[in-house]
Structure 1
Amino acid sequence: MRILVIEDTILLGEAIADRLQKLGHGTDLIGNGRQAADWLRHQQVDLIILDLNLPGLNGDALLAELRQRRNVTPVLVLTARNGIDDRIKLLDLGADDYLAKPFDFGELEARVRALLRRQQGYASDISKHGNLVFNRTAKTVTINGEPCTLVNREFRLLEIFLGALERVMSKEEITDKLFNADETPSSNTIELYVARLRKKLAGSSVHIQTLRGLGYVAHVQPSENTP
């Protein structure tokens, strides 16, 4: 999934972005609130991680501006403010969750998973699709109870498809979700990833169909091995 980190403390921002990239997310980092607001007029992401003390435009104002634009992207706020009134204000402005500084990266990852899961309509980190079980927390996939080994980008690509079942997704949309703005994948990169994922999902209930000129659509079909 594609995540925007808005944090002006360079070391912290880079640490968060690096951690998320290692988990397979496409991650962008911006350190100025005004620049982030302008960037979001032309780019779509699946989650925003937002610091409050920003140059150009502070986080409170940026959050309010996004919601006024009817931008409903989930926002996780990083804040050193621990007062109950501050937290109420953030939630009223439209924050989906907040994390007090200093924080543990394990908790950050858990909150990211929860917000992305909620956005995709799943109540649990474990979802079953026919004979395929997808575990976001453990980053595992099983088919008929047997492990299916996926590298980070393959795992995230499957997550993207499972979050958009029965919906046609163009190569451009998948690229935007899988890579950050600084990466320049070649025109056939998505085709290669989809081909590799299809091969590994052979025998599963999840099928990825190519629609020439349009992109891809994922379906869950009954499997003869499904109980």
Structure 2
Amino acid sequence: MKTAFRTIILLALVVAVFGAAPRVFAAAEANNGDAPVSSTPANPGPTEKTSAQRIEEYKEKLLVKPTAAEQTRLKTRCQPAQGISKTLATKVDTSHKARAAAYEQITTKLDKLVAGLEETDFNTTELKAQQKKLGEMTTSYAKNYAVYKDALADLNALDCMADPVAYKAALEVARATRLTLSREVAVIKAYLTDTVPPQLLKAKTALDNKTNQQSDDKKDAQ
């Protein structure tokens, strides 16, 4: 009974965390404006490739090389654009840290909860499947964020006047990864709001009923 009681308390805390999750995500999105920004490492860590190596890869992915006229136009616009994207990079990193911290808090509490539920007779199969899925989604987000962060850094650091093709290539990678991140963040938010909480409430109800029944049985035995 003590194990069940401890698990009920933990469940209440986890449900509260999930209830607060939408507000946390909204705050992160407000921090980031219209830019996108995990188990989740708060900081994906340094990449192994150099900026020069990544830029060459960006160029290889570029489907259509800018014409001479387009390169001339890029040269007239790229430096002011770099000033804007540098500000964006700072905002994106701030919102990412807030979002990653929220993901980490949720996944840590969910891990502890699943471990606690396994000490009871509650069937954790569905919750463990959700736990695994959440881990996969937040890990993918963290990896893609690392790519996006590198692309923004490369975009802002390269000499766009000397190599407008590199600028265009880095810009395309940043844009594509940004779209991927936006989709991932939306999917994770929906999963944490609509999919996991019903299973948590189901577990809480089952343990509440079990604890109440045990209390009634104890009273009847006296």
TM-score class, shorter-chain normalisation, is: under 0.3
Per chain length, whose mean CA-contact separation is higher, i.e. which structure has more relative contact order (CA < 8 Å, sep 6+)?
Answer: 2
More strand per residue: 1
Which structure: larger Rg? 2
- TM-score under structure 1 normalisation? 0.21
- TM-score under structure 2 normalisation? 0.22
More helix per residue: 2
